[in-house]
């Protein structure tokens, strides 16, 4: 019997990872001071380094961080151009001021750029980077399939489609690199800028499309979508439609300032949606999924430790710890770091205590050796 | 007993396209392994895809006649409805996985079919064992090798326990090791479970021996069907030993090296007919087989010294020395991951060396393994023309620019800013001709078969006129006609003061057209020398060499027969008996050494 010490099973269950990511994102919101956000981002980086899955999908982490950073940079520039500080002291630079035409909002662009506005925008932007780091890390370490198995059945197929679509992101990144290289090699290393976008985008899109068609055929040949909808799913679809319509009605009522009607419709809509999920998930079932992974003690401990971090931060916030938030008010004071909140944030590093996937003594290793 | 699959006067055309299947009448017997053969565009893929209704349900188009799977017609059953009786595996092992864990991916079809939990567990254990992939169950498909992926994909198709397994060129994207693994698994399935298998393949070396029946398609019709030896005997894609057997009048023609050796041992006239035991020089294939790097007349075009490359963090190549001379065809052999592609990319300047140097005295162009990375134009002619346009736009002062060749008196292959469009058009036409693409010139590159695409990519790169062409797996998944066109083109390019470096798994290709063979192992050069010397000492020697050493190719035997004179004792002896010893023994046994001495250079 061939045995292998290699598995690609993540060390922790996806639900534990989800709890961890939500805790990290929440911590960033509760303690948005740049130094605390930096601690969270560092913890996320360390977790990704230790627990990254071997698949290409996990390579998206730096891309997501880069994307968030770009977004923040753009945001800072736009904020600085459109928000005008109190003027006077702390002016970074004076730009020519233009007032936009009324059609475009009629506000002033440019003018005096103040330090405090720039710092404030950057600090707020860093929170976005922190949230992105938490979810990028989740994407890099957790198995989407384990999560998929836990999704209520009503959402199973849409979630499956979503997870398959996500798998195309790294494939596209690889295709793009190959195409860029092929383009360079075609002309024996001479760079031709003109028309480069077409030359590089068309093959990537076409390759992606071809692969999507192949995958669809393969899924079709393996019986995907074969089962006729169960009666419960049909009922769920109608109830879900009713719920969506009443939520729409509630919105109209809100706009029309009919708050009682809006409240009734909104309640009915939410109720219908909950019913739809229940109908679709309970009974009339297809078979159970194959070997659904159970959460074990380690998963629960890590999840609890991670969730304790935002709880701890809330406690410090209530106790009046002023270091959690930082305002770039004049005169500028640098953000501070207190030991208590840092200790709370370090609870997020609990996954680092768990050996990375594949070396798990228990379940998968034994399974393979049997 | 009814046939598992039966085609009744099936005719099909893709939307807006010509007829692809033309009145196919065919029945597959239970327990058979059927090989569907035919050139590119003969309708192999379409025939296979009609088995479970992908044609016409997914493709659209005009369909008449009927395909019956057991008692069910594909007219009334969509592919998903036939998932329990037909398992379908695609050529591309990448594009078939839905779930990120092998064992859960196997469960995908069972979950769709609504199989209950305990049956599901049992079935998955069974297919894991049937394909020998139990050790991969917790792996993610993205981290597997091509052969492992393809076996997992077959397991995924097999989990539902279908009566028929359809494999559309299952090994064309794989290296020889992976291909062997996959075909061995298929043979075992057929033996143990009696699964009926219908598969298409371009290369019959490996597939033909395990098939019990074969079908030759020609322009959408069944041209012939019967036992593989009878059907495939004169097909260009038949194994070299089959061609050899036909040439020497062996009946029945052998399909395997073992059969061929038995024939060779029994054939009393062979020794006399072969005449001098040395390959005739000069014919198109293997033309330079005796020339080593030291005897190659041409100047060095690319020189690598102490080259080490480490893309990412891992060292892939270390201390590689390689000279590519004018007029050479260098074949890079080596298992997957031995650094062939990395070496090509480093020679092309796409990767920066970590240590050592690559000195390029002439422009170097590179054709990647996947031609899809290159193709973007709406027609084949336009695609090839684009390269000329790009080169004219490129700044002529860029380092390594093509005009350098002009000083060497090759004006027709250079790019000058003012070059007339007419010249380009003529050049494009010449390359289309050379690679047999003229008939496809108005087609969209993406609608072509793998082999045709590969040739378009090569034409599109070669038309730029770079003297050094680096080709990565140029014969992967292409049919015999395409391969032959490609070989002619490679020899012609090298003959015209160029040089070609091929990374390939195809030993036969190396035997037919390489002048020099470089074997890489674990990122280092483990053998470098004239094709004959290196191949003769190899465990993976070409088929003809294993039957009739020291001949490398059928063409060499042909010319030896033509010039046949007195028979030297060695070949007159028992080639079958010496060959195994040589294959197993250390490299450079007597024959190659002797050959080098007698080989005219």
Final residue belonging to a domain, choices A255, A282, A309: A282
Residue keyed to tokens 């050529």: B91
Instruction: With respect to residue A195, please indicate whether it lies within any of the assigned structural domains.
Output: no
- Whether residue A367 is contained in a domain is answered as no
Residues A253 and A323 in one domain: no
Residue A53 in domain: yes
- Domains of chain B in start order, with CATH, are 5-235 (3.40.50.300), 373-448 (no CATH)
Q: Where are the beta strands (DSSP E) in B335-459?
A: 355-360, 364-367
Say if residue A268 is in the same domain as residue A312.
Answer: no
- Strand, helix or coil for residue A287: coil
How many angstroms separate the CA atoms of B464 and B441, rounded?
A: 18
Domain span at A262: 231-282
Record the tokens describing residue B276, joined without a space.
């001098």
Q: Which of A278-292, B115-129, B209-223 has the lowest mean pLDDT?
A: A278-292
Domain identity same for A19 and A138:
yes
Nearest CA in chain B to A9: B138
At residue B443's C-alpha, the angle toward residues A204 and B221, to 5°, is 115
> Nearest CA of chain A to the CA of B289: how many Å?
28
Q: pLDDT value at position B595?
A: 35
Give A160 to chain B, closest Cα distance, Å: 8
Q: Do A203 and B375 touch (CB under 8 A)?
A: yes
Complex ipTM: 0.80
Is the CB of residue B387 less than 8 Å from the CB of residue B463?
A: yes
pLDDT at B328: 92
* A220 domain-assigned: no
Length of chain B measured in residues: 601
Q: Could you give phi then psi for residue B122, rounded to 5 degrees?
A: -65, -45
Q: Least CB-CB distance to A222: which of B108, B461, B470?
A: B108
Residues A238 and A341 in one domain: no
Cross-strand pairs, B520: B525
Count the Cβ atoms, other than its own, within 10 Å of residue A288. Answer: 12
Say if A260 is an interface residue toward chain B (CB within 8 Å). no
Question: Starting at the edge strand that comes first in sequence, how are the strands of the sheet with B317-325 ordered?
Answer: B317-325, B300-309, B355-360
Task: Label residue A278 exposed, middle or buried (CB < 10 Å: 0-12, 13-18, 19+).
Answer: middle
d(CA A170, CA A168): 6
Compute CA B380 distance to the chain's CA centroid, rounded to the nearest angstrom: 22
> Cα A315 to chain center, whole Å?
26
Residue B520: closest CA among B331, B340, B328: B340
pLDDT band at B153 (very low <50, low <70, confident <90, very high): very high
Distance CA B462, CA B455 (A): 10
> Which letter does DSSP use for residue B376 in this model?
-
Same domain, A274 and A299: no
Whole-Å CA distances, A120 to A31, A79, A80, B170: 15, 9, 10, 59
Distance separating alpha carbons of residues A54 and A77, to the nearest angstrom: 37
Selected residue of A17, A49, A190, A216 to mutate for chain B interface (largest B Cβ count, 10 A):
A190
Identify the bridge partners of residue B324 per DSSP, sorted by sequence position.
Answer: B302
pLDDT tier at B278 (50, 70, 90 boundaries)? low
**Pair (A325, A265) in one structural domain:** no
What total number of domains does chain A contain?
Answer: 2
Is the distance from CB of B155 to CB of B139 less than 8 angstroms?
Answer: no
Q: Do A198 and B376 touch (CB under 8 A)?
A: yes
Token output for B503: 């990374």
> Residue A255: inside a domain, yes or no?
yes
What are the phi and psi torsion angles at A325 (to 5°)?
Answer: -115, 155
What percent of chain B has a predicted confidence (pLDDT) above 90?
33
- Asked whether A276 and A239 are in contact (CB, 8 A), the reply is yes
A246 and A353 share one domain: no
Q: Which residues pair with B222 in a beta bridge?
A: B217
How many separate helices (H) and strands (E) can be counted in chain A? Answer: 12, 4
**pLDDT tens across the length of chain A (370 residues):** 444 556 788 889 999 999 999 999 999 999 999 999 999 999 999 999 999 888 777 777 888 899 999 999 999 998 888 877 655 567 777 788 888 777 777 777 877 788 888 888 999 999 999 999 999 999 889 888 888 877 766 677 777 888 787 777 777 888 888 888 888 888 777 777 777 888 888 888 888 888 888 888 888 899 887 776 667 777 888 888 899 899 999 888 888 878 888 889 999 999 998 888 777 766 544 455 788 888 899 999 999 999 999 999 999 999 988 888 888 776 778 888 899 999 999 999 999 998 887 544 333 333 333 3
Does some domain include residue A132? yes
Asked if A362 is an interface residue toward chain B (Cβ–Cβ < 8 A), one would say no
Do A241 and A118 share a structural domain?
no
Is residue A65 domain-resident? yes
Q: How far is A109 from chain B (nearest CA, A)?
A: 41
- CA-CA-CA-CA torsion sign (B574, B576, B577, B580): positive
Distance (Å, whole) CA B525 – CA B340: 10
End residue of a domain, out of A239, A260, A282: A282
Helix axes of B146-158 and B117-130: crossing angle, nearest 10 degrees? 140
pLDDT digits (tens, 9 = 90+) for B84-115: 999 999 888 888 888 888 999 999 999 888 88
Contact in structure between B373 and A203 (CB atoms under 8 Å): yes
Which range is least confidently modeled, A5-9, B158-162, B169-173, B319-323? A5-9
Say yes or no: A260 and A341 in one domain. no
Q: Helix, strand, or coil here: A109?
A: strand
Of A254, A282, A310, which residue is a domain's last? A282
Contacts A49 to B, Cβ<8 Å: none
How far apart CA B191 and CA B177 sit, in angstroms, is 21
Given a cut of 70, is residue B259 above it in pLDDT?
A: yes
Is there a single domain that holds both residue A240 and residue A305? no
Residues A110 and A87 in one domain: yes
Q: Which of A185, A197, A230 to mutate to test the interface with B (most CBs of B within 10 A)?
A: A185
Residue A33: partners with Cβ closer than 8 Å, 6 or more residues away: A123, A323, A324, A325, A326, A335, A336
Give A188 to chain B, closest Cα distance, Å.
5
Instruction: Give 3-state DSSP helix, strand, coil % of chain A, rounded to 5.
Output: 70, 5, 30
Note whether A122 and A141 are within 8 A (CB).
no
- Residue A161 located in a structural domain: no
* Tokens matching residue A144: 């989407």
Q: How many CA atoms lie within 13 A of B164 on its CB side?
A: 27
**Side-chain-facing half-sphere of B336: CA atoms under 13 Å:** 12
> Which pLDDT tens digit goes with each residue over B368-377?
888 888 888 8
CA angle A170, A174, A177 (to 5 degrees): 140
Flag whether residue A190 sits within 8 Å of chain B, measured between CB atoms.
yes
- In angstroms, the separation between the Cα of residue B338 and the nearest Cα of chain A is 20
- Rounded to two decimals, the pTM is 0.80
| Contact present, B289 and B532 (Cβ < 8 Å) | yes
Looking at the structure, do residues A321 and A249 belong to the same domain, yes or no?
Answer: no
DSSP 8-state class, residue B438: G
H or E element at residue A266? helix A259-281
Residue with tokens 């036969």: B508
């Amino acid at each position: 019997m061939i045995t292998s010490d290699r598995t690609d099973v993540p060390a922790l269950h996806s639900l534990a990872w989800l709890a961890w990511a939500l805790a990290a994102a929440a911590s960033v919101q509760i303690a948005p001071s740049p130094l605390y956000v930096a601690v969270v981002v560092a913890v996320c980086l360390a977790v990704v380094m230790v627990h990254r899955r071997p698949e290409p999908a996990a390579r998206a982490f730096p891309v997501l961080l880069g994307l968030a950073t770009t977004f923040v940079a753009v945001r800072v520039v736009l904020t600085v151009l459109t928000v005008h500080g109190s003027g006077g002291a702390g002016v970074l630079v004076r730009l020519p001021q233009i007032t936009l035409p009324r059609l475009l909002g009629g506000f002033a662009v440019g003018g005096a750029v103040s330090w405090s506005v720039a710092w404030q925008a950057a600090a707020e932007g860093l929170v976005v980077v922190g949230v992105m780091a938490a979810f990028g890390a989740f994407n890099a370490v957790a198995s989407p399939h384990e999560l998929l198995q836990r999704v209520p059945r009503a959402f199973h197929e849409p979630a499956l489609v979503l997870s398959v679509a996500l798998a195309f992101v790294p494939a596209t990144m690889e295709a793009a690199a190959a195409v860029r290289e092929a383009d360079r090699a075609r002309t024996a290393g001479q760079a031709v800028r003109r028309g480069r976008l077409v030359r590089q985008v068309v093959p990537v899109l076409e390759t992606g499309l071809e692969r999507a068609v192949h995958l669809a055929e393969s899924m079709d040949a393996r019986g995907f979508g074969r089962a006729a909808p169960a009666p419960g799913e049909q009922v769920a679809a109608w109830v879900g439609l009713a719920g969506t319509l009443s939520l729409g009605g509630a919105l109209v009522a809100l706009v029309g300032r009919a708050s009682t009607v809006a409240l009734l419709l909104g309640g009915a809509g939410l109720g219908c949606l909950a019913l739809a999920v229940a109908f679709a998930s309970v009974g009339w079932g297809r078979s159970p999924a194959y070997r659904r992974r159970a959460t074990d003690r380690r998963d629960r401990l890590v999840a609890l430790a991670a969730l304790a971090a935002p709880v701890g931060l809330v406690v410090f916030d209530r106790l009046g710890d002023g270091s959690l938030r930082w305002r770039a008010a004049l005169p500028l004071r640098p953000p501070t770091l207190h030991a208590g909140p840092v200790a709370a944030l370090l609870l997020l590093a609990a996954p680092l205590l768990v050996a990375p996937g594949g070396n798990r003594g228990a379940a998968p290793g034994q399974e393979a050796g049997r | 007993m009814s046939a598992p699959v039966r085609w009744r006067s099936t005719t099909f055309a893709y939307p807006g396209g010509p007829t692809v299947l033309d009145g196919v009448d065919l029945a597959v017997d239970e327990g058979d392994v059927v090989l569907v053969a035919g050139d590119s565009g003969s309708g192999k893929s379409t025939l296979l895809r009609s088995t479970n209704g992908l044609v016409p349900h997914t493709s659209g188009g005009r369909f008449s006649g009927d395909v019956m799977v057991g008692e069910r017609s594909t007219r009334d059953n969509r592919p998903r409805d036939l998932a329990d009786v037909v398992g379908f595996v695609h050529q591309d092992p990448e594009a078939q996985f839905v779930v990120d864990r092998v064992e859960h991916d196997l469960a995908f079809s069972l979950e769709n079919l609504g199989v209950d939990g305990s049956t599901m567990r049992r079935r998955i254990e069974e297919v894991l064992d049937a394909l020998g992939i139990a050790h991969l169950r917790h792996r993610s498909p993205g981290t597997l090798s091509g052969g492992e992926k393809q076996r997992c994909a077959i397991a995924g198709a097999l989990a539902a326990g279908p009566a028929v397994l359809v494999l559309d060129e299952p090994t064309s994207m794989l290296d020889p090791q992976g291909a062997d693994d996959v075909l061995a698994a298929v043979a075992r399935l057929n033996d143990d479970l009696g699964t009926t298998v219908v598969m298409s393949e371009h290369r019959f070396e490996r597939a033909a021996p395990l098939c019990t029946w074969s079908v030759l398609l020609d322009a959408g019709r069944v041209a012939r069907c019967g036992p593989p030896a009878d059907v495939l005997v004169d097909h260009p894609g038949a194994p070299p030993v089959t061609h050899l057997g036909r040439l020497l009048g062996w009946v029945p023609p052998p399909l395997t090296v073992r059969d061929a050796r038995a024939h060779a041992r029994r054939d009393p006239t062979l020794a006399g007919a072969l005449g001098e035991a040395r390959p005739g020089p000069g014919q198109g294939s293997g033309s330079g087989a005796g020339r080593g790097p030291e005897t190659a007349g041409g100047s060095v075009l690319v020189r690598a010294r102490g080259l080490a490359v480490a893309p990412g963090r891992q060292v892939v190549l270390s201390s590689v020395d390689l000279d590519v001379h004018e007029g050479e065809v260098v074949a890079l052999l080596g298992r997957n991951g031995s650094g062939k592609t990395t070496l090509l990319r480093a020679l092309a300047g796409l990767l920066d060396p970590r240590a050592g140097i690559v000195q390029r005295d002439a422009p170097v162009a590179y054709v990647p393994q996947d031609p899809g990375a290159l193709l973007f134009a709406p027609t084949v002619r336009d695609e090839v023309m684009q390269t000329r346009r790009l080169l004219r736009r490129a700044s002529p002062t860029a380092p390594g620019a093509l005009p350098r060749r002009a000083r060497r008196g090759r004006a027709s292959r250079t790019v000058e800013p003012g070059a007339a469009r007419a010249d380009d058009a003529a050049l494009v036409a010449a390359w289309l001709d050379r690679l047999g693409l003229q008939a496809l010139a108005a087609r969209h590159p993406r609608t072509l078969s793998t082999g045709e695409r590969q040739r378009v990519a090569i034409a599109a790169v070669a038309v730029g006129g770079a003297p050094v062409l680096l080709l990565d797996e140029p014969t992967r998944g292409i049919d015999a006609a395409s391969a032959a066109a490609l070989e002619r083109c490679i020899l012609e390019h090298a003959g015209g003061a160029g040089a070609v470096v091929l990374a390939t798994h195809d030993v036969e290709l190396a035997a037919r057209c390489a002048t020099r063979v470089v074997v890489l192992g674990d990122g280092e050069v483990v053998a470098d020398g004239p094709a004959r010397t290196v191949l003769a000492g190899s465990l993976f020697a070409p088929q003809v060499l294993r039957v009739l050493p020291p001949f490398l190719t059928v063409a060499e035997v042909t010319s030896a027969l033509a010039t046949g004179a007195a028979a030297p004792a060695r070949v007159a002896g028992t080639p079958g008996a010496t060959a195994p010893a040589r294959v197993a023994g250390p490299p450079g046994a007597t024959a190659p050494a002797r050959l080098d001495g007698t080989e005219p250079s």
